[in-house]
Homo-oligomer: A and B are copies of this chain.
Amino acid sequence: MKKWLENIRRVEPYVPGEQPKDTDVIKLNTNENPYPPAPQVLEAAKSMDMNLLKLYPDPAASKLVDALAEAHGVGSAQIFPGVGSDDVLSMIFLTFFNSDKPVLFPDITYSFYSVWASVYGIPYECPALDSDFRIRAEDYYRENGGVVIANPNAPTSIYEGLDFIEDILRHNEDSVVVVDEAYIDFAGGPSAIELLPEYENLIVVRTFSKSRSMAGLRIGYAVAGEELIRALNDVKYSVNSYTLNKPAIELGAAAVKSTEYYEEITRRVVATRERAAKELAELGFECLPSGTNFLFAKHRTVPGERIFKELRDAGIYVRHFDAPRIDDYLRITVGTDEQMDKLTAFLKKYA
């Protein structure tokens, strides 16, 4: 018997969407942006002095942090950067949720929340979305150890306005409230960052992997009051001093300054989304109203798993969740118009 096995942390890990090595597939399964990063990012890559890779990166990633602070009109001490928003959210769970009371998040939401709670031994409860897949604010009025709301929510794609977020904040003055805004740039509505001056228990999380087309660089960040950011940094410096590497810092800072480009490609993704949603409806699908770069869609009669598998066999990858209430849905990333045309052409067989 190997006694050292007894002390191993046992977990059910999150399973990320497939990253097929075959580049011929139409990849609509992990909500990446179909357009390349900004020309300024490609320029910054060319002008990086790779000889400097011999030195440690700036542990505070100040160049990136300062650029983000300026873009959001907040202080640099209000920004916490990480290796993708997953790293940021993981640090948030580890730092803020040390209570015996359960952390609350919806039953249908980003499935990593329950994984982080499990790995760090945090109790949690998951109030059910209503029958329209909307979050019920009143489920979050009770005592808790923290609240996590994805807005827009995933995989439902639904965006709620700031009144809704503020309602939850007003009922949770004793908890840290996390608003995960991975998809906010596609929502067409305001960000909870506007509420920061009034709620110092609010923390808003963002990513460069969606609207900024930089999933491959792994950059995310939190925006909050200085007290929360300081606590996050203390824990971060207790786990890994140097998280963002030099390319992430340099290219990330260039991306923050390329606002016009990203606004333009976001408009294109949103236009494609609206066109695709209309076509899917004509083909017998019901789509939830999307404020994201994906569509959450269900065929009126054909089971989701069947369509998922047949699409996959045809080289079109979408995401299917084998979970209660949503197992007939497909989560379809909004790609280019051409990619969506190939998708809808294939889906005609179910019409």
Chain A residues close to B by CB (< 8 Å):
2-16, 19, 27, 30, 32-37, 41-42, 45, 48, 50-59, 83-84, 86-87, 90, 94-99, 115-116, 118-119, 145-146, 173-176, 200-201, 209, 213-218, 227, 231, 233-248, 251
Contact = CB atoms under 8 A, between A and B. Distances in A.
Contacts of A2: 200-201
A327 to B, nearest CB: 22
A96 B7 contact: yes
B13 A217 contact: no
Nearest to A227: B5
Contacts of A116: 238-239
Contact of A33 (B54, B57, B234): B54
A144 to B, nearest CB: 10
Contacts of A3: 173-175
Nearest to A177: B4
Given A32-B55, A51-B36, A87 B240 contact: yes
A50 B248 CA distance: 12
Contact of A54 (B15, B214, B237, B239): B214
Contact of A98 (B8, B99, B246): B8
Nearest to A244: B218
Contacts of A10: 234
Contact of A9 (B4, B57, B94, B246): B94
A4 B96 contact: yes
B201 A53 contact: no
A90 B239 contact: yes
Given A86-B242, A245-B245, A32 B56 contact: yes
A169 to B, nearest CB: 12
Interface centre among A8, A36, A175, A235 (most CB of B within 10 A): A8
A89 to B, nearest CB: 9
Given A7-B97, A7-B146, A235-B119, A242 B16 contact: yes
Nearest to A146: B7
Contacts of A6: 99
9 contacts: A7-B99, A9-B96, A27-B55, A36-B51, A41-B50, A52-B216, A54-B215, A245-B245, A245-B247
Contact of A245 (B59, B98, B216): B216
